[in-house]
Structure 1
Amino acid sequence: MKYFLLLCLSYLYLNANAHIFVYHRFGDSKHESTNTSLQELEKEFEYFKANNYKVVTVSKIVEKLKNKEEIPDNWVAFTIDDAYKSFYQNGLELFKKYNYPFNLFVYVEATQKKYPDFMTWDEIKESSKYGEIELHSYSHKQLVKLTNEEIIKDTNLALEIFEKNLGFKPKAYSYPYGEYDERVKNEIKNFGFEYIMNQNNGSVNEKSDLFDLNRIALVGKINLEEKIKYKTLEANWIEPQVYPKDGILKHIKVEVNKDIKNAKLFISTYGWQDIKVKNGIIDIKLDKKLNLNRNRIAISTDYYTISNKLLIK
């Protein structure tokens, strides 16, 4: 048993793991589900400072990935989705105080149409002095529910307006709501972005997919020590790939490292259960109704070393 545990640990932690986090609103108590208070934000920044973490842009991490270099364990990156005005009015000063860079992903329609809760193009330009500005779609619709043609139209429009107002092309894209499947991923990838970001728990290491980078959401009061424990489990999801037409999850098949003999399975609304792994294959027959429009399936060895699959109705 001891040998088995050591073998699994040596495999799972062979690669150094950096962490990328995603924020939305700052100091905006009207929207608790997406808000981080300024007190909480400073507490988190103090934690990273006290524990010798190095805050970098996602581009620095991507550079390591492209060069097939190990990414230091103490690297973290901060991303901000949507470009809410509360970032410019409240959050930006703390990023400047700690000299922490960031990647801001712009919901283009909201800025272009001057929705009052969102940053203006001038505010985004000002923010670009301290971080990198990237793309978060034009209309912020659920991409899995759009046709390929609609995805292409939305992204082309976003790119056109983004470049016209900021004078450069974005290098990266983050999915609205963090929702995607292989079809969506391939359509967005075709635009030539250097990297694409999801919103799945996990880390980034030298084997990570540039077009499927994990980001851990930070919202409300969180236990940062728990969040930083997340690692990415290398896994090849064979089945399922998309939400089943009848809404019934019947089969899960995932390929993992052959040294792993036991794992845990998570399904939204059903929680965790122990599962067996045979010769590196998780192969489970099920008959479970998916109860949500957005369902998460996860495979883990210890709750923290994890691989995710989203199924969107």
Structure 2
Amino acid sequence: MSLKKIALVGAAVLSTSVVMAQDYLPILQYHHVSASTPRSTSLSPEEFRGHMEYLAEAGFQVLDLSQALKDIQEGVELPEKAVAITFDDAYRNIYQNGFPIMKEHGFPFTVFINTQPIVQKNRNFLTWDQMKEMEQSGGVFANHTFSHPYMLRLEEGESHEQWLDRMSKELSDVEVALEKNLGHSPKMLAYPYGESNTEIRALIKERGMIAFGQQSGVVSKDSNFADLPRFPAAGNYAKLSTLKTKLNAKPMPLADVETGGDFATDLPVQLQMTFKEGKYRLKDLACYVSGQGKAALNWVDSHTVEASADKAFGVGRGRINCTMPDMSGRHYYWFSNVWIRPGADQNYVSQKN
């Protein structure tokens, strides 16, 4: 598999005469707000209230996601302690249990909706009337595809061209529904299961959209706006102590990244990072491989490091997360990358190329 270089947009350095209150944005990702849904994608209403109360008491500025991203791209400063709140899937418990809490605090939020269950009038999912009500108090609704598919898997007998046409329709159907029922779309997408490849990301860019994966990290002007990071804040990540660390995270100061591509094989993955010029605590950099512990670090030169897994990932998604304290010790730089290890019977597009 040939190495893929991720283009890090916006390499220009701002003049030192311009002081940015904050030029980056941590984004929280939720799904269910319920004590009776699968724990892996849920947190209880009480836990969610605790998160929102902490944001308010600690002075975090909760921003409208779409506007904040436009500001970052245009070099417009964000307020200090800026953060955004998002939800994936159109679960009704967001309206029942999460919305009243956010409304109390006046926090804007974004819900990425898959519209098939809404069309089917599934009682566990939002209605358009509920979404219109939520819009009146800071809610924004964006694209999570029509049927929530694994976007990189071919259907039986499907050609590559047919697959890409089907994925294009998955996006278009939601955009049409948003315009028809709400009158507008923010042109943002959350990839189902966080999965995308170069073709899907190219499709996003052609449509003038912004999209999110499921890798953790902080958005900055250097980010890939067709595959932005967010911090999961439910399930194993619902503890307030770990959330505080993420809320104070900064983007890793990288000039270049090489990942080897979107897919993992039967060999261990490797991540090569080249740091921008600057004063950093590089000796305190630590990288962790999902399910394996610390990654081995090999410094190629004074600014370039290779982080390597010890063994191959199993079938599914695996990642390497890297953190490094800043010079003050009050914040952590953060970067994460996700790979997909396809199963032999899963019919991923990588297996047909």
Considering the TM-score relative to the shorter chain, is it more than 0.5? yes
Which amino acid in structure 2 is aligned with residue 301 of structure 1?
A: M
CA-to-aligned-CA distance 1:8-27 (integer Å, 9 cap, x gap):
xxxxx996443211111113
What are the residue-to-residue correspondences of 1:78-227 with 2, within 5 Å? 78-130=85-137, 131-146=139-154, 147-193=163-209, 195-220=210-235, 221-222=238-239, 223=241, 224-227=243-246
CA-to-aligned-CA distance 1:89-111 (integer Å, 9 cap, x gap):
22111111111111111111121
Q: How many residues matched?
A: 299
Is the 1:251–1:284 Cα contact (8 Å) retained in structure 2? yes
Report the identity percentage.
26
SS of equivalent to 1:43: helix
What are the residue-to-residue correspondences of 1:1-313 with 2, within 5 Å? 16-130=23-137, 131-146=139-154, 147-193=163-209, 195-220=210-235, 221-222=238-239, 223=241, 224-235=243-254, 236-244=256-264, 246-249=265-268, 251-257=270-276, 261-262=282-283, 263-277=285-299, 278-283=301-306, 288-302=311-325, 304-312=332-340, 313=342
Structure 2 distance, partners of 1:127, 1:149, is 33
Structure 2 residues not aligned, in runs of 5+: 1-19, 155-162, 326-330, 343-353
Answer with 24-33 or 81-90: which moved more. Answer: 24-33
Residue 251 of structure 1: CA displacement?
4.4
Is the 1:65–1:207 Cα contact (8 Å) retained in structure 2? no
Quote the RMSD (CA, aligned, Å). Answer: 2.6
Structure 2 distance, partners of 1:90, 1:117, is 13
TM-score (structure 1 length as normaliser): 0.85
Residue 253 of structure 1: CA displacement?
2.9
Structure 2 distance, partners of 1:23, 1:213, is 15
Residue 274 of structure 1: CA displacement?
4.7
Which amino acid in structure 2 is aligned with residue 164 of structure 1?
A: K
Is the 2:141–2:185 Cα contact (8 Å) retained in structure 1? no
Is the 2:287–2:323 Cα contact (8 Å) retained in structure 1? yes
CA-to-aligned-CA distance 1:39-82 (integer Å, 9 cap, x gap):
11221111111111111111231232132123333111111111
Which amino acid in structure 2 is aligned with residue 212 of structure 1?
A: D
TM-score (structure 2 length as normaliser): 0.76
Structure 1 distance, partners of 2:47, 2:308, is 43
Structure 1 distance, partners of 2:65, 2:194, is 17
Structure 1 distance, partners of 2:141, 2:61, is 20
Structure 2 distance, partners of 1:128, 1:286, is 44
Which amino acid in structure 1 is aligned with residue 121 of structure 2?
A: K
Distance 1:59-1:240 versus aligned 2 partners, 3 A rule: same
Distance 1:64-1:264 versus aligned 2 partners, 3 A rule: same
Distance 1:305-1:188 versus aligned 2 partners, 3 A rule: same
Structure 2 distance, partners of 1:162, 1:218, is 26
Is the 2:31–2:42 Cα contact (8 Å) retained in structure 1? yes
